[in-house]
Structure 1
Amino acid sequence: MKKRQLLLSAVALLAYGAVSACTNFIVTRGASTDGSVMVSYAADSHALYGALYHTAAGRYAPGTMMPVYEWDTGRYLRDIPQAAQTWSTVGNMNEHSLIIGETTYGGRAELADSTGGIDYGSLIYITLQRATTAREAIALIAELANTYGYASSGESFSIADPNEAWIMELIGKGYKDDGKGGNARRGIVWVARRIPDGYVSGHANQARITTFPLDDPENCLYAPDVISFAREMGYYEGPDRKFSFADAYCPADFATVRGCDARVWAFFRTVADGMDAYEDYAMGYNLKNRLPLWVKPRQKVSPKTVFDCMRDHYEGTPMDMTRDLGAGGHNCPYRWRPMDFEVDGVTYLNERATATQQTGFWFVGQARADRPADTGILWFGVDDAATSCLTPIFCSAQEVPECFSEKNGSMLSYSPTSAFWLFNRTTNFAYMRYDMISADIRKVTDKWENDHLALMESLPARIGMMSDEARRSYLTEVSVSTAQELFDRWQRLNSYLLIKYMDGNVKSEHGDVLSYLDGDGSSAHFVDNGNGRDIPDKIQFPGYNEKWKRAVAADNGEVLRVVK
């Protein structure tokens, strides 16, 4: 009965699953192999077009105004005064190697403010244009939300610079008429904690900060009314020192832990020891066994490890999405929405892993204190992280590659030169025979990412004594040309996969996908019958996996059984 009740509570996950769908992992300087601070982010939405945003630096005269549009919907919110000076940004990183990612946790519904003038997305991109460090960003986010009113629900931010990494969690105060047609509660309550150097952290659509130190401004910052407001609203009655932000403003339940915190647990168990002790929490069965806010990895974490952790489907755990019957006959780790289903009055869930089909874009930002701030790297990709690839975009790049441009296609208009559409076309084909096709894609991804990670290590020697202007021009050109090279390579991969796996068959080949892409891509790569007519030979018919065959036999064996 207990597990049945837990499964029924998964229905709550659907209420915010459409918007609460992003994942952040954070690695501090002392925890990384190259001394970089890293933040990963997957912007997951069924309506988001995967593109790379860019704003140029600027200087503005007093009185200049800038419009604010809600990031998720494009809805105009208001105008706010423009800053006197703004910084160049590309994606979720600016020229000072400041990185901001987010995940929406929703929280208490009554704290939403429909009159708010700035949403969570605008907070990110406006802050990137105005701040240079993580601490500046935290202060500016609070100032903007308190000044103009907060238009979104509860939010967690990853905020990092070359030296520090923070988690900031915030939520609005709801609406209370001030008697003048305004909101007497305008603004947010919030808390931010610095992740200790040498540790890793993460968040995924569930508030993660519980108790926090009240007298350590070097490592913990918070709104002056974060506790008193909770008392006013009846969310908390105990002493200040025991106050938990997450428990007050976003109480955990089965749905938010299984569908959200479980993704952080999957990251932690990959890089740190002892995480199996929290398996019952990750599965939503023991909410008292709370996952820690940060953990110390067993060894320093490489950028490639972070890349690959964003590709997780709970492999090797009881929630492994490749193993149950829902994975079909080819171990596909995806479950199409809705996120639950009912059988004989009992509701069951579909797992929500880190890698998901509806990703618009994703990245791993790297900020390094041992290099010029404008050489920070935003490793950027579009579509499902498990079957797509990251390419290096320097944080000071002054141009967006055409294949990643916001103006190149949309969710409602296909473009043959858009990386988002190319990667989606390849990935959706891979879902057909996932066990085999995804393995070919992964070979290409691993080679590309490993090769370019190695190239980035030689960057200091390449930029040498360049002037700031020459360096920025060079980094822009490298960012654009490398992204286009990836696009061209994926075009060839797309053709290769169609030839090899068309109609569910598998053509035999000389070599593998890498030899095809690195060769001339001719028909000679595939095995033919030797008659000089390009007719394939030794075509393979792999069939389905054992679990699928047994399920079909159990379901319809009386009809399908061969009679001797």
Structure 2
Amino acid sequence: MKKISMVGMLVMAFILLNQQVSNGCTNFLVSKGASVDGSTMITYAADSHTLYGELYFQPAADHPEGAMRKIYEWDTGKYLGEIPQPAHTYSVIGNMNEFQLAIAETTFGGRQELGSQDGAIMDYGSLIYVTLQRAKTAREAIEVMTALVEDYGYYSSGESFSIADPEEVWILEMIGKGQGEKGAVWVAVRIPDGYISGHANQARITTFPLNDSKNCMYAKDVISFAREKGWYNGTNKDFSFSDVYAPVDFGGARFCDARVWAGFNKVSQGMESYTEYAKGIIEHGGENDFPTNRLPLWIKPDKQLNVQDVMGMMRDHFEGTELDMTQDLGAGPYGLPYRWRGLTWEVDSVTYCNERAISTQQTGFSFVAQSRSWLPNPIGGILWFGVDDAYSTCYAPMYCGITEIPECFAVGNGDLLTYSETSAFWAFTQVANFAYLRYNDMIKDVKLVQKELEDKFVAFVPVIDKAAETLYNTASEEQARKFITEFSVNEAEDMTKRWKELGQYLLIKYADGNIKRESNGEFTRTETGMPASPIFAGYPEWWYKAIVNARGEHFKVIGSSH
């Protein structure tokens, strides 16, 4: 009992020390050599109970000398200050700009004393969206982001950023310097070609090369600052960014790195050796007593990945592992792989936890950003964009060079407290929430339509690429942009319409806890045109046994056999 109570205390400590982590997000990063077609990819699930799914759009613009840009905190909308505008800013669709540069993030929090900085105005969200307006490559993005926090201070807690252009994929980890200081300490490393990486609200960079500017960049005081604070006294070569600035604990492993483990597990054999770590069991050792059984920062997948493989990495509830959310009593009679919050709960003064999977109910939006070096920039970048729960969403191709946002994804088309008939978010939320009621049956119907649409998109894209490239080379960039805009807008709107039809179908099929009979794609009627008697599916036997074990005598039919 004492050991379990200690685990519970560690869980609560993790939550308290990381209370500023408002968005539990997940990213995966795929280098050129790890993809089937030589594209780079990064993913993002923007998970928050207060985030609405919509697609941001910042058109390219010219700015007069002296123009200023107002900075608002992304999480709260709070005004923080303003910074000078450059002469020209680039077009940005969501988290990808017109040069195929894409940036995503997850918040790791880190040392609590570094979580605030008086006078700072650059929060992590503003860093992303300002940088996308100013940088063309991943390396340039790192330079812009680190210069912005040096000049204007860093407003957020610790953050991991995924940064990709058509050639390279980088992970940048940053944490502020706390009160009385300005800026941040940070490390950025390039994912080796042929490898994939991931992060999910736990800092992942440990040791890093000190003399390899091709593959690593870092703040000049990233080690000396830790020494000044008394947090590290070992050698420079053994310095670990994560273990010093954001040490992993039970929560960091079980709630965060376990998601990375799950994604890796979908594309690589051998991840079972990290199961104990994913369960929150951390081993320590060595001169600095750092963890010794942590997940590697990157792995080589068993095969090169296509965009649908990467979408699949975002769709996971630990199925087939010891943490499988469909296999315990909490899943209910219909195998629901979700647990309503909070993340931890207490019985008889002992703290227990729910799993935190990649796919979760509180996702605002998610995407797979794909950058392709062999195409002109406006055509080469695709933001495969979806709203709500990543497991049941559908990823629609939004080319990075489009000049208009589909109404179904438009900012202001509804919000989390305002329903809109034309909003994709509300269409997908309705389907997902209805499916949660009888999950193991309904999700099969949802996945069929999801596959139907995504297979169509993947088949269409090469044709659209070729036509757009021809227009780009023989007519004009403007004509090419108009063409890909029409395609992206039309497909997103048609997808939303199809999803609303799916919602109507599910309502008819599963109304009142029954299942309507079907034949040849239509609901079955009797010879006289009446609805056929439905299937009374009931509950699985194990669920009935659980009821009997809990209150069998109460429900027992009098006179039945013993």
TM value normalised by structure 1: 0.94
Deviations 1:282-316 (A, max 9, x none): 11113431100000011111211111111100000
Q: Is 1:265–2:274 an aligned residue pair? A: no
Equivalent position SS for 2:193: coil
Percent identical residues: 53
Once the 2 structures are TM-superposed, how far is the Cα of residue 562 of structure 1 from its aligned partner? 2.5
Once the 2 structures are TM-superposed, how far is the Cα of residue 196 of structure 1 from its aligned partner? 0.2
Aligned counterparts, 1:391-470, within 5 A: 391-466=396-471, 467-470=476-479
Which residue identity does 2:455 align to in structure 1? N
Which residue identity does 1:272 align to in structure 2? S
Distance in 2 between residues matched to 1:408 and 1:224, nearest whole Å: 45
Q: Is 1:493–2:486 an aligned residue pair? A: no
Distance in 2 between residues matched to 1:120 and 1:25, nearest whole Å: 18
Which residue identity does 1:70 align to in structure 2? E
Residue 359 of structure 2 is aligned with which of 355, 371, 381? 355
Q: Is 1:539–2:543 an aligned residue pair? A: no
Aligned counterparts, 1:154-193, within 5 A: 154-176=158-180, 185-193=181-189
Preserved CA contact (<8 Å) 1:325 1:547: no
Which residue identity does 1:12 align to in structure 2? A
Distance in 2 between residues matched to 1:537 and 1:201, nearest whole Å: 52
Q: Is 1:60–2:63 an aligned residue pair? A: yes
Once the 2 structures are TM-superposed, how far is the Cα of residue 459 of structure 1 from its aligned partner? 3.0
Distance in 2 between residues matched to 1:434 and 1:9, nearest whole Å: 33
Once the 2 structures are TM-superposed, how far is the Cα of residue 547 of structure 1 from its aligned partner? 3.1
Preserved CA contact (<8 Å) 1:13 1:259: no
The aligned counterpart of 2:287 is none
Deviations 1:171-205 (A, max 9, x none): 000011xxxxxxxx110000000000000000000
Aligned counterparts, 1:256-335, within 5 A: 256-287=252-283, 288-335=292-339
Which range moved further: 207-216 or 435-444? 435-444
Which residue identity does 1:33 align to in structure 2? V
Number of residue-to-residue matches in the alignment: 542
The aligned counterpart of 1:226 is 222
Equivalent position SS for 1:539: coil
Q: Is 1:483–2:487 an aligned residue pair? A: no
Preserved CA contact (<8 Å) 1:14 1:338: no
Distance in 1 between residues matched to 2:542 and 2:154, nearest whole Å: 50
Structure 2: segments with no counterpart, 5+ residues: 284-291
Residue 93 of structure 1 is aligned with which of 80, 88, 96? 96
Which residue identity does 2:103 align to in structure 1? I
Distance in 2 between residues matched to 1:272 and 1:353, nearest whole Å: 18
The aligned counterpart of 1:341 is 345
Equivalent position SS for 1:378: strand
Equivalent position SS for 1:262: helix
Distance in 2 between residues matched to 1:503 and 1:12, nearest whole Å: 44
Distance in 1 between residues matched to 2:68 and 2:456, nearest whole Å: 44
Question: Runs in 1 of length 4+ with deviation above 3 angstroms?
Answer: 1-4, 12-18
Compared CA separation, residues 215 and 191, structure 1 to 2 (3 A): same
Distance in 1 between residues matched to 2:231 and 2:98, nearest whole Å: 41
Distance in 2 between residues matched to 1:45 and 1:259, nearest whole Å: 15
Deviations 1:206-228 (A, max 9, x none): 00000000000000000000000
Distance in 2 between residues matched to 1:544 and 1:9, nearest whole Å: 37
The aligned counterpart of 2:32 is 29
Once the 2 structures are TM-superposed, how far is the Cα of residue 465 of structure 1 from its aligned partner? 2.3
Distance in 2 between residues matched to 1:222 and 1:547, nearest whole Å: 55
Once the 2 structures are TM-superposed, how far is the Cα of residue 462 of structure 1 from its aligned partner? 1.8
Preserved CA contact (<8 Å) 2:249 2:282: no
Distance in 2 between residues matched to 1:20 and 1:480, nearest whole Å: 28
Distance in 2 between residues matched to 1:546 and 1:311, nearest whole Å: 28
Which residue identity does 1:500 align to in structure 2? K
Distance in 2 between residues matched to 1:216 and 1:227, nearest whole Å: 16
Aligned counterparts, 1:503-522, within 5 A: 503-511=512-520, 515=521
The aligned counterpart of 1:555 is 550
Compared CA separation, residues 275 and 222, structure 1 to 2 (3 A): same
Deviations 1:265-292 (A, max 9, x none): 0011111121111111111113431100
Q: Is 1:77–2:80 an aligned residue pair? A: yes
Preserved CA contact (<8 Å) 2:43 2:368: yes
Preserved CA contact (<8 Å) 2:117 2:182: no
Distance in 2 between residues matched to 1:293 and 1:545, nearest whole Å: 42
Once the 2 structures are TM-superposed, how far is the Cα of residue 460 of structure 1 from its aligned partner? 3.5
Once the 2 structures are TM-superposed, how far is the Cα of residue 538 of structure 1 from its aligned partner? 3.3
The Cα RMSD (Å) is 1.2
Once the 2 structures are TM-superposed, how far is the Cα of residue 550 of structure 1 from its aligned partner? 1.9
Which residue identity does 2:51 align to in structure 1? L
The aligned counterpart of 1:181 is none
Which residue identity does 1:424 align to in structure 2? T
Deviations 1:416-461 (A, max 9, x none): 1111111111111010000111111011111211221121122333
Distance in 2 between residues matched to 1:545 and 1:128, nearest whole Å: 51
Equivalent position SS for 1:329: coil
Once the 2 structures are TM-superposed, how far is the Cα of residue 13 of structure 1 from its aligned partner? 4.4
Which residue identity does 1:35 align to in structure 2? G
Q: Is 1:530–2:527 an aligned residue pair? A: yes
The aligned counterpart of 1:502 is 511
Preserved CA contact (<8 Å) 1:8 1:348: no
Which residue identity does 2:231 align to in structure 1? Y
Preserved CA contact (<8 Å) 1:70 1:77: yes
The aligned counterpart of 2:480 is 471
Preserved CA contact (<8 Å) 1:20 1:106: no
Deviations 1:460-517 (A, max 9, x none): 3322421211111111111111100001101110100000001111000123xxx4xx
Equivalent position SS for 2:186: strand
Equivalent position SS for 2:187: strand
Distance in 2 between residues matched to 1:174 and 1:105, nearest whole Å: 15
Which residue identity does 1:527 align to in structure 2? T
Distance in 1 between residues matched to 2:539 and 2:98, nearest whole Å: 50
Which residue identity does 2:524 align to in structure 1? V
Which range moved further: 238-247 or 301-310? 301-310
TM value normalised by structure 2: 0.95
